[in-house]
A = this chain, B = another copy of it.
């Protein structure tokens, strides 16, 4: 086991000073050709790599991004991470991942754990619990310390920072309109409680479209699932709620704010003897593995998570590398969405 060589040991070995070695390796013109060649050869031989930590300390930047998400076992978030990784790696940045598990406390801990100089900036999707508590001090404090934050998907309006979102309202309008155009008369929505902004906005789009089509809104057709900050073993709970929903509502079109709700609803519908898409058409949000491989395969809205990740990373790195340029001018990037036509809807959209 040979230890990593440092400038110091190279210097001693070659009987020159540390500064000379450093400069030689960086090809400074202060150093003679001879010496440069000698040093470089030696460095190569011993596989010298500058110590990142020392560089971080000196430069006061770590070239590392902190990503804090509610959950990693979730297709949307992993595609976003892929996007972040892709862009960040390209720019020479590393990505360090923190999981909040939808918990406020874990989010705070993760933030603090990383805000000690370990990372240059954050990319965050806010935990449900945090959204429900409405306690955002950890974000403002972090920003106050000069550490920039980019929020994506689950963002907080009151926090001033860069954001990457989809146009939830418009997208949901498109989806519901599609159901209407496909012949649905009684359209329902399965959403989340209102403190989750994306749920609220998507519900808003649903209502807008009904209004625009002069269809009366029936509140019983709006199911707001409270998934208690964890999406693990509450599958039965979810099924129950949806079962009751179907008991009380006769719908022929259904829009859900994520794919799990859609898949589960299809399962329940099947139990009740409905066929899809003949008796019931379904559109989900977020294009994940479930949608693609469901039977019948689910028509969904693609959020383009990969792009969202890339945009988030770009926003953050731009801000890191061009500080106080356009200071305090925070951007919100709206990533476009697409409806992916599959088997749970009748109408095919020829126009992309």
Asked if B85 and A78 make an inter-chain contact with CB atoms under 8 angstroms apart, the answer reads no
Closest to A2 in B: B144
Asked if A112 and B73 make an inter-chain contact with CB atoms under 8 angstroms apart, the answer reads no
* Across-interface contacts of A116 in B (CB, < 8 A): 49-52
- Copies, count: 2
Q: Which of A91-99, A159-167, A174-182 contacts B (4 or more CB under 8 A)?
A: A91-99
Min C-beta distance of A112 to chain B, whole Å:
7
Asked if A82 and B78 make an inter-chain contact with CB atoms under 8 angstroms apart, the answer reads no
Closest to A76 in B: B73
Is A350 close to B, CB under 8 A? no
* Across-interface contacts of A98 in B (CB, < 8 A): 85, 94-95
Asked if B78 and A72 make an inter-chain contact with CB atoms under 8 angstroms apart, the answer reads yes
A135 to B206, CA, bound (A): 55
Q: In A47-84, which residues have CB < 8 Å from any B CB? A: 47, 49-54, 56-57, 62, 64, 72-75, 78-79, 81-82
A52 to B141, CA, bound (A): 18
A263 to B295, CA, bound (A): 10
Asked if A1 and B81 make an inter-chain contact with CB atoms under 8 angstroms apart, the answer reads no
Q: Mark A248-270, 1 if CB is under 8 A from B, else 0.
A: 00000000000010011001001
A78 to B264, CA, bound (A): 22
Q: In A30-59, which residues have CB < 8 Å from any B CB? A: 47, 49-54, 56-57
Asked if A118 and B73 make an inter-chain contact with CB atoms under 8 angstroms apart, the answer reads no
With beta carbons under 8 angstroms apart, the residue of B3, B75, B96, B263 that contacts A73 is B75
With beta carbons under 8 angstroms apart, the residue of B74, B96, B270, B294 that contacts A95 is B96
Min C-beta distance of A114 to chain B, whole Å:
7
Closest to A106 in B: B89
* Across-interface contacts of A3 in B (CB, < 8 A): 145-146
A113 to B264, CA, bound (A): 42
Asked if B94 and A94 make an inter-chain contact with CB atoms under 8 angstroms apart, the answer reads no
With beta carbons under 8 angstroms apart, the residue of B4, B235, B260 that contacts A145 is B4
* Across-interface contacts of A113 in B (CB, < 8 A): 89, 94
A292 to B49, CA, bound (A): 47
Is A289 close to B, CB under 8 A? yes
Is A223 close to B, CB under 8 A? no
Closest 6 CB pairs of A and B: A52-B116, A96-B96, A51-B117, A295-B295, A53-B117, A73-B78
A-B contact pairs, 8 of them (CB 8 A): A4-B146, A52-B116, A72-B82, A74-B78, A78-B78, A85-B99, A94-B113, A289-B290
Task: A49-B116, A72-B81, A85-B98 are known; give 12 further A-B pairs, CB within 8 A.
Answer: A2-B144, A52-B118, A53-B57, A54-B57, A57-B57, A72-B82, A73-B75, A73-B79, A94-B114, A289-B289, A289-B290, A290-B290
**Residues in chain A within 8 A of chain B (CB atoms):** 1-4, 47, 49-54, 56-57, 62, 64, 72-75, 78-79, 81-82, 85, 89, 94-99, 109-110, 112-118, 141, 144-146, 235, 260, 263-264, 267, 270, 288-290, 292-295
